[in-house]
Amino acid sequence: MSLSPILYWQKSSFSGGGDEEDCVEIAATTPTTLHLRESDHPTTILTPTPTALRALLTTLRS
């Protein structure tokens, strides 16, 4: 049985800084492994590859 790592979530700077529930959060387990979740659905966690995350961020910026 493997234990899941403890994830320390950081809210997006676009979340407004309060206790709002509508924000994207990110956590890292290694420098190249990032995890994303929507605060409304905290049990659904995405772990994109660096290439997929780069493509997502590029699309969101344009």
1 domain residue, yes or no: no
Indicate the pLDDT class of residue 60, thresholds 50, 70 and 90.
confident
pTM of the full structure: 0.72
- What's the confidence (pLDDT) of residue 47? 94
- What's the confidence (pLDDT) of residue 45? 93
2 domain residue, yes or no: no
pLDDT in tens, 1-57: 567 778 999 987 766 655 556 788 999 998 889 999 988 888 999 999 989 989 988
Strand, helix or coil for residue 46: strand
Question: Rounded to the nearest 5 degrees, what angle is found at the Cα of 55, between the Cα atoms of 51 and 57?
Answer: 115
CA-CA distance, 50 to 52, in Å (whole number)?
6
15 domain residue, yes or no: yes
The domain tally of the chain equals 1
- What's the confidence (pLDDT) of residue 4? 73
Beta bridge partners of 26: 10, 36
Q: Which residue segment(s) compose the domain that 16 sits in? A: 10-61
24 domain residue, yes or no: yes
CA-CA distance, 27 to 33, in Å (whole number)?
9
